[in-house]
Amino acid sequence: MKKLMITVNGKRYEVDVEVVSDDEAMEPQPLYPPTSYSINTPVAAPRPAAAPATAPRAQVPADAKSLQSPMNGVMLEIPIKEGQDVKMKDVLFVMEAMKMKTNVSCPFNAKVKTIHVKVGDTIESGQVLVTFE
């Protein structure tokens, strides 16, 4: 027998309870399976996920004036054309990353020689976007 204090509707009662089986003495069972297992069977290494299709990287000479992408994203707009003169701070590209549009501006006055990407390309950080004369 166990003596318990029970409260019902704010009123306290002292009761004697006959214990048929004592669950307090039982070992608690984990709610979730263990996170690590010891298995002696060799397991094949997981295959890396396939990389998303990206625009091919342009081969640009090291001495060329060029502009690289500051981030990963998707090319939305290219408001310039090859042969066009551009000034410092002119918007050359509009990219989208994480549902935010970002303008990529010209770092100096120059003439556009080659545009290495097109609208819809997936761009990686550091990828050459444009080469200047």
Is the distance from CB of 125 to CB of 69 less than 8 angstroms?
yes
Whole-number Cα distances in Å, 27 to 22, 24, 31, 35, 121: 11, 8, 13, 19, 59
Give CA–CA dist 9/84, Å, rounded.
84
Are the C-beta atoms of 70 and 125 separated by less than 8 Å?
yes
pLDDT, residue 113, reads 95
Q: 103-107: which pairs have CB atoms within 8 A and are 24 or more residues apart?
A: 104/67, 104/69, 104/70, 104/129, 106/67, 107/67
pLDDT truncated to tens, each residue of the chain (133 aa)? 788 888 889 898 888 888 776 655 556 555 555 555 455 555 566 666 665 555 555 555 555 689 999 999 999 999 999 999 999 999 999 999 999 999 999 999 999 999 999 999 999 999 999 999 8
Please tell me the predicted confidence (pLDDT) of residue 61.
Answer: 54
Q: If you ran DSSP here, which 8-state letter would residue 28 be given? A: P
Looking at residue 95, its pLDDT comes to 96
Which amino acid, 33?
Answer: P
Judge residue 132's burial from the number of C-beta atoms within 10 Å of its C-beta, 0-12 exposed, 13-18 middle, 19 or more buried: middle
* CATH class (in words) of the domain with range 65-132: mainly beta
Contact 90, 96 (CB under 8 A): no
